[in-house]
Amino acid sequence: MDFEVMVYRIGAAVVAGAVVGIEREFRDKPAGLRTLVLISAGACIFSMISMLVGGTTVDQGRIAAQVVTGVGFLGAGSILRSTKSIYGLTTAATIWIVAALGMACGFGHFLMALVGTVATLFVLLLFHSIGGRIEVSRSIRKHRIATRDDQIRFANLEPYFTEAGLRILRRNCYRQGDDYVFTFRVRGPRKQHLALREKLLHTDGLMLQR
């Protein structure tokens, strides 16, 4: 393999990783510019080594195939799990696809790398906005309603949520001093949550807790 060919392929891998990395850097993600550039360039170099070592007698994809496994472990390290949700899946997927872009450059498939880079940016930029809107429309919040009226039951409070267009996921009730506290875990548009709280604040006999 000529020196110029190596430079072109590694350079293309660096550019592909940098383009995606800049977008991630602006969003302050753990895998930023330098990380993604190194992943892309590393995958490219491993792919070229695979071609050089393999030659015509050995499967050239053997070393390159191990890159996929290695990147999988790297991506898994970026995933964090809490009691309520999982974080870092998009970062892990970005690491995975950037490695694929680097491999495409390493094997000389520049058009594939270009289309893949554009598609990746399209997903990260456009789908971020769409995902944000969906998240807003499916916001989950917990409402605590306190009352001293021992005649209040779930059946008296649930219509407030139904009228607001909110879906009750979980409910509970407990005694706190002289108060009866009803807790509702609810899903729905954010503005509907605010409208519900505004209505409950002006309802006699009911108090909202944080």
Same domain, 126 and 195: no
The residue out of 113, 136, 159 marking a domain boundary is 136
Residue range 185-189: mean pLDDT, rounded: 86
Same domain, 94 and 196: no
**What does pTM read for this prediction?**
0.62
Q: Which residue has the higher pLDDT, 75 or 123?
A: 123
Q: Which residue has the higher pLDDT, 198 or 58?
A: 198
The residue out of 92, 119, 136 marking a domain boundary is 136
Angle at 88 between CA 91 and CA 18, to 5 degrees: 15
Same domain, 158 and 175: yes
Same domain, 38 and 99: yes
Please give the residue range of the domain that contains residue 132: 3-136
Same domain, 18 and 70: yes
The residue out of 136, 157, 172 marking a domain boundary is 136
Angle at 102 between CA 34 and CA 39, to 5 degrees: 30
Band (137; pLDDT cuts 50, 70, 90)? low
* Predicted local distance difference test score (pLDDT) of residue 81: 58
Instruction: Evaluate if residue 46 carries a pLDDT over 60.
Output: yes
* Predicted local distance difference test score (pLDDT) of residue 98: 94
Same domain, 127 and 165: no
Euclidean distance between CA atoms 84 and 8, whole angstroms: 46
Instruction: Evaluate if residue 119 carries a pLDDT over 90.
Output: yes
- Give the whole-number percent of the chain exceeding pLDDT 90: 29
